[in-house]
Amino acid sequence: MTRKLFSLFVMFFCVHFYQSSVLITKTEHLNTVKPPSNIKVTNITGTSATVSWDPVIGTGHLVKYDIVGIPGSGGSRYTTSTSIDLTDLQRCKQYQVTVSNVQAGGGDSSPVFFASANNYCLISPSSNPSYVPSLYISNVTVNAVGLPPMISNSGNSAFTKYFDDPSRKVKLVLGSTGNTISVTKAGPSSQSPGYLRVLVDFDGDGSLGSTPSEVILSSNGSTSQTVTGTFSVPSQDPQKPCKLAMRIISSPYVDIVTCSSNGEIEDYEIELIDPASLAVNETAKSKDITIYPNPASESLHISGLSSETDYEIFSVSGQKTGEGRTSGNTVDIRHLAKGIYFIQFKNKENTTRLKFIRK
């Protein structure tokens, strides 16, 4: 009897030890599994984008995406690959995307934010790679009131998009008047009567030149090599998360259309600056002040400040949502709703404005 009891005790102990070992092993596995990393969003258009991440062996992935601040506005996609195309995006919206390992666990990754593009119609130079315009744009100079000039020199091409070149970003002050733009023509037809048009999508509707105020320069049949115009900027900010465009079209013929040309088309990104709530001395603005992390959920850390500095926070609509003084080079943002904001640092010499996302 004693031997039987002892045998049962030993068997019970072994089973318990084995179950505990399995539980510990599973727990340790779950603790070491991490969500996918190095998430990138590329090939962004008005309706689609590609999401990619580093590979994780032996698991499928769930990609979830929504418009920032609107749960359920996007969707979720399952894939066994390390990238996926999202094809049902809305034009000019701020999105957040996460990726998780379905079988391996580990939870969702930190959200990655991106803005879908505007649907500006484009010509495709690759459809006729040998085409060389007889009239092209060699120089564009924009003198915005209160801001440094934007000067763009270029060679002969059918179509060029300068959105990714920060030195060619056109900055304009909302409500300003007396801004000027000059366009210089070149090529075999530059001495003949030529045609130029400059269009700006001020209202962010994705349509260039949809109103007369969006046509800031129109030259018909001028033989002058350089054409200059004066224009005003609307006072209302369209508050769009996507990039807005200025399009310059040259043609040796009179039939200029927005989406094609017998000459050259150049697209530039424009940035609209609010003079009331986001006034910045862009010429003297310090380039050394940075904020991190961005996006952030609780606090922003500031580098490049030599002392405590006053700050103000504004929404994209220009409404002040916070102010104070930096403490330990940090700013508490827990009171903000999720979305896009601007933080403005002020000292005796100048003002610096930076954009961040509260996640």
> Is residue 283 included in any domain, yes or no?
no
Please tell me whether residues 207 and 265 are part of one structural domain. yes
Domain boundary among the residues 115, 145, 174 is at 115
Look up residue 236 and give its amino acid. Q
Please tell me whether residues 137 and 266 are part of one structural domain. yes
> Is residue 95 included in any domain, yes or no?
yes
- Residue-level pLDDT at 19: 53
Please tell me whether residues 27 and 86 are part of one structural domain. no
Please tell me whether residues 157 and 269 are part of one structural domain. yes
Range with lowest mean pLDDT among 57-61, 275-279, 341-345: 275-279
Measure the CA angle with vertex 81, ends 79 and 87; round to 5°.
Answer: 60
* Number of domains observed in the structure of the chain: 4
- Residue-level pLDDT at 283: 39
> Is residue 174 included in any domain, yes or no?
yes
> Is residue 133 included in any domain, yes or no?
yes
Taking only the tens place, the pLDDT of each residue in 166-203 is 889 999 988 888 899 999 988 887 777 788 899 999 98
**How large is the average pLDDT for residues 54-73?**
88
Calculate the alpha carbon distances from 68 to 86, 90, 96, 97, 289 in Å: 16, 12, 6, 9, 27
Residue 79 clears pLDDT 90, i.e. is over it: yes
Please tell me whether residues 147 and 76 are part of one structural domain. no
Please tell me whether residues 137 and 229 are part of one structural domain. yes
Please tell me whether residues 268 and 185 are part of one structural domain. yes
Please tell me whether residues 160 and 87 are part of one structural domain. no
Residue 324 clears pLDDT 80, i.e. is over it: yes
> Is residue 278 included in any domain, yes or no?
no
Averaged pLDDT score across all residues of the chain: 80
Please tell me whether residues 261 and 313 are part of one structural domain. no
Please tell me whether residues 154 and 236 are part of one structural domain. yes
Percent of the chain residues past pLDDT 90, beyond the cut: 26
What is the Cα–Cα distance from 180 to 172, expressed in whole angstroms? Answer: 11
Please tell me whether residues 79 and 14 are part of one structural domain. no
Domain boundary among the residues 53, 82, 115 is at 115
Please tell me whether residues 317 and 248 are part of one structural domain. no
Percent of the chain residues past pLDDT 70, beyond the cut: 80
- Give the domain range for residue 53: 40-115
Taking the model in full, what pTM does it have? 0.61
**How large is the average pLDDT for residues 247-274?**
80
Encoded tokens for 290: 């940075």
> Is residue 227 included in any domain, yes or no?
yes
Taking only the tens place, the pLDDT of each residue in 113-144 is 988 888 777 655 444 556 677 788 999 999 98
Residue 231 clears pLDDT 80, i.e. is over it: yes
